[in-house]
Structure 1
Amino acid sequence: MTETMDPQTLAEASAAALWQDDQTTQKLGMTLERIAPGEAVMTMTLTGQMTNGHGTAHGGYLFTLADSAFAFACNSYGQVTVAQHCSVTYIAPGALGDRLTAHARELSRQGRSGIYDVTITREDGTVIAEFRGHSRSINRSFLSAEGSGAQTNREETQ
């Protein structure tokens, strides 16, 4: 089925299937603003529960936002793809109420491996974090033959 879809339709179908079971992204109030082959844009508003003892954005929530955008970007080809390695550099603080945007872009995709950069910005355009994710595709289609939902197997991702 995925071979007959144009790349944008495949990216949208993959995102819909991934979104369906992504409880973390949904419960944190993230929104998928844009999806394209190898690219995703997600937004999230920083709540009081997402701030640390300094009153700024907790790094774990920034990492999670970037990781979610990375996941949608690298899973946009219809094949189950997982994180192999990720790192983040925090550049400026986020504050309570900030609307953050994470823009994930594919840098390289060769064989089963990919490299993606994610930039997180505040509404004023200030870059607050840079994230790099290395992905690894597993031998599994993301969409079922009927096009409904993700197919995952815990043992294959470990």
Structure 2
Amino acid sequence: MIVAQDMTDQQLAEACAKALWSTDNATQQLGMELASVGPGEAVIEMVVTERMTNGHGTAHGGYLFTLADSAFAFACNTYNQATVAQHCSVTYITPGALGDRLTAHAHEISRKGRSGIYDVTITRQDGTVIAEFRGHSRSLGQPLLTDAGA
């Protein structure tokens, strides 16, 4: 059995993502897919369905926020420290549309002590930036994985 301290940084990030994914009902139920994960980084994709459109017929901002928040969560939980959001903000740049395949790419800007800052860019399939998100994280001071779960 591989224990967390014997893993490479990439293996640890993948093990943490697997553990987080196994209980992340919101991300799974919205049809999101974890495309990739690495230390301090994650990419999640989602297709805008009819249920996700607003009164203007565009992607509802709450779903865009949720996509970015999920990518943020996976990125900041790659170090085997249970980590949660402390503060998040989003700027919507252009609307998403029904059928768009959106990609949220989260990457670490800073991680000091128990606090981190992560930026997430959401793009649609043609590369157009839909939204920019910044999340501030806070470690709970406990491991995400148990050695048995690693």
Q: Tell me the TM-score normalised to structure 2 length.
A: 0.97
**SS of structure 1 residue aligned to 2:14:** helix
Pairing partner for 1:98 from 100, 107, 116? 100
Name the residue aligned to 1:34: 36
- Give a deviation string over 1:9-54, Cα, whole Å, max 9, x none: 0000000000000000000000000000000000000000000000
Name the residue aligned to 2:23: 21
Q: What root-mean-square deviation, in Å, do the aligned CA atoms of Structure 1 and Structure 2 show?
A: 0.7
- Cα distance in 2 for residues equivalent to 1:81 and 1:64: 17
TM-superposed CA distance for 1:119, in Å, is 0.1
TM-superposed CA distance for 1:2, in Å, is 2.0
Name the residue aligned to 1:57: 59
- Structure 1 segments of 4+ aligned residues over 6 angstroms from their partners: none
Letter in 1 for 2:75: A
**SS of structure 1 residue aligned to 2:57:** coil
Name the residue aligned to 2:111: 109
- Cα distance in 1 for residues equivalent to 2:122 and 2:141: 31
Name the residue aligned to 2:142: 140
Letter in 2 for 1:9: Q
**SS of structure 2 residue aligned to 1:139:** coil
- Cα distance in 1 for residues equivalent to 2:116 and 2:4: 19
TM-superposed CA distance for 1:5, in Å, is 1.1
- Give a deviation string over 1:106-125, Cα, whole Å, max 9, x none: 00000000000000001010
List alignment gaps of at least 5 residues for structure 1. 149-158
- Cα distance in 2 for residues equivalent to 1:109 and 1:72: 14
**SS of structure 2 residue aligned to 1:140:** coil
TM-superposed CA distance for 1:144, in Å, is 1.2
- Cα distance in 2 for residues equivalent to 1:145 and 1:24: 26
TM-superposed CA distance for 1:145, in Å, is 2.4
Name the residue aligned to 1:152: none
TM-superposed CA distance for 1:80, in Å, is 0.0
How many residues are aligned here? 148
Q: Tell me the TM-score normalised to structure 1 length.
A: 0.92
Name the residue aligned to 1:72: 74
- Give a deviation string over 1:85-111, Cα, whole Å, max 9, x none: 000000000000000000000000000
